[in-house]
Amino acid sequence: MIILDTNVVFEYKKLKLFFFKSEIAITKPCLEEINRLAKKKKFPIELINDVKVINTEKMEGDDSIIEAAKKYKCKVATFDKILSKRLKENNIFVLESDKEIISELGK
């Protein structure tokens, strides 16, 4: 399973992420952020209907991703350099490019 950061979710047209719903997850705080931004970003919210949502104690998006990745020993897909650095500091494997994300989902 790969946990997606919000910024990766909004690249759905380029990455075709939602062909792999059984392999991806988002945290509840990220889901709330997606719901808030969906109309502005012209994101078809129904794409995430069947994506696994992970509940976390942390309520902030980045913190919730770190918590979930540690708990479930998952990789994280993000384009956020600050989050990427924090994940690496926590020994969490980070997928930082389109190519890495697509390659990992295709396994």
Q: Spell out the domain ranges in the chain.
A: 2-105
pLDDT recorded at residue 83: 98
Ramachandran region, residue 42 (left: φ > 0; alpha: ψ -120 to 50; beta: rest)? left
Return the SS3 of 91.
coil
pLDDT recorded at residue 60: 96
pLDDT digits (tens, 9 = 90+) for 24-80: 999 999 999 999 999 998 999 888 888 999 999 999 999 999 999 999 999 999 999
What residue spans of 1-107 are helical by DSSP H? 6-9, 12-15, 28-41, 61-72, 81-89, 98-105
User: Which residues have C-beta within 8 Å of that of residue 24, sequence separation ≥ 6?
Assistant: 1, 2, 3, 4, 17, 18, 51, 52, 105
pLDDT recorded at residue 64: 98
Cα 42 from chain centroid? 18
Question: What homologous superfamily is domain 2-105 in, according to CATH?
Answer: 5'-nuclease (3.40.50.1010)
Would you place residue 95 in the very low, low, confident or very high pLDDT band (cuts 50, 70, 90)? very high
Judge contact between 78 and 96, C-beta under 8 A. yes
Kindly report the pTM of this predicted structure.
0.92
More confident residue, 15 or 66: 66
pLDDT recorded at residue 93: 97
